[in-house]
Chain A
Amino acid sequence: MPRKKSRMSQEVNAGSMADIAFLLLIFFLVTTTIASDKGITNVLPPKIDPNQPPPEVDKNERNIFKILINSNDQLLVEEDFRDNTDGLDKEIKEFILNFGDPDQENVDLFNSLPPSLKAQAGQDPNSSDHPNEAVVSIKTNRGTSYDLYLEVLDKVKKAYYEIYAERVGLTADEYRALSSRTAAEKELMDRGKENLPMAISIAEPDKGGE
């Protein structure tokens, strides 16, 4: 049988398929938004029972790291005036890890920390006694911008996460990416947080100066 000389091309023309796919792609690009369920987590305090008197706060002044923000977005950090948040995370870190007057339990905690964190213990008698006592307090005004409030909260969180991460030998980014889904990651998370509670107090804002 003689072979046919001119065979039909066997390839199907798929050039227009790209166009169709492009159309679909553009449709999805336009109609969708990238899911952004990211942010700074926080737990609000429980509601106040009107029948009960407000709980007594018997914390020493030295155990509270006070950050006040007024309606002009000026900061008063530990009685010092400043107009930006530079270096705030570092100060908070030093405050938490001060170990000024630890009891036995917290001496053990101190001994369990890696050397890099131990080195930061200033043992200043005018700063926090130990991490379990230390509280970072943020007080805003009704006229404070939300942006600045979040920036300050961000710095406080950063200080804590850096401590947690350093304790388990990770970077802060890696630590924050841990999830409680796998047992190994959960164990790491718990080990970082153990005996080092994240104590951030957010006071109700002042009414005046709006």
Chain B
Amino acid sequence: MAKFKKKTKTEENIPTSALPDIIFMLLFFFMVTTVLREQELLVEQKLPQATQLQKLEKKSLISYLFLGKPKNPSVYGTEPRIQANDALITTKDIIQWVNQEKDKLSEAERDQIYISLKADRDVKMGPVADIQLELREADARKILYASVGKLNEE
């Protein structure tokens, strides 16, 4: 028996030097596919589900409008509120906000502005319709109802 024991002197270490490479690959994937959270959300956001989703091609043309119940009801109440650029605004401010957003774009792209409406799924149509009416007034007519894909598609 002792004879055999002497012969089996194999390396006990498992080479793990490839592990960091794998992790780095994962890391790069996440770095590329994600964006840093740009703004603090002040309203609740549970996007509705839909199947016919489209992706917008030019990100620079998109401006975001959030709609939902405030996260801090003791300060802002429980009615759905609109958030644009870190602040809660009222329906009347939308035209001004659209014009500000348009000014950020170049002359040629100004009328191509896309408004991505990120509305909570519990919101009623009333505030949504108010926003649409104001957007029509502000001549920002392209709208994207932000939604997430349905998991159980027929």
Binding site for B on A (CB under 8 A): 11, 14-15, 17-18, 20-22, 24-25, 28-29, 31-48, 140-147, 149-151, 153-154, 157-158, 161, 172, 176-177, 179-181, 202, 204-205, 210
Contact = CB atoms under 8 A, between A and B. Distances in A.
Instruction: Report which residue of A22, A25, A157 has the largest number of chain B beta carbons within 10 angstroms of its beta carbon.
Output: A25
Given A32-B30, A32-B35, A181-B57, A149 B128 contact: yes
A100 B72 CA distance: 55
A39 B50 contact: yes
A14 B17 contact: yes
Residues of B contacting A: mostly: mixed
B52 A144 contact: no
B36 A150 contact: no
Interface centre among B52, B122, B124, B126 (most CB of A within 10 A): B52
A181 B57 CA distance: 9
Contact of A47 (B23, B26, B59, B139): B139
B54 A41 contact: yes
Contact of A210 (B123, B126, B141): B126
Contacts of B120: 146
Interface stretch (B82-90, B99-107, B142-150): B142-150
B115 to A, nearest CB: 9
A142 B129 contact: yes
B33 interface: yes
A31 B125 contact: no
B124 A142 contact: yes
B8 interface: no
B37 A39 contact: no
B119 A146 contact: yes
B56 interface: yes
Contact of A17 (B20, B31, B121, B124): B20
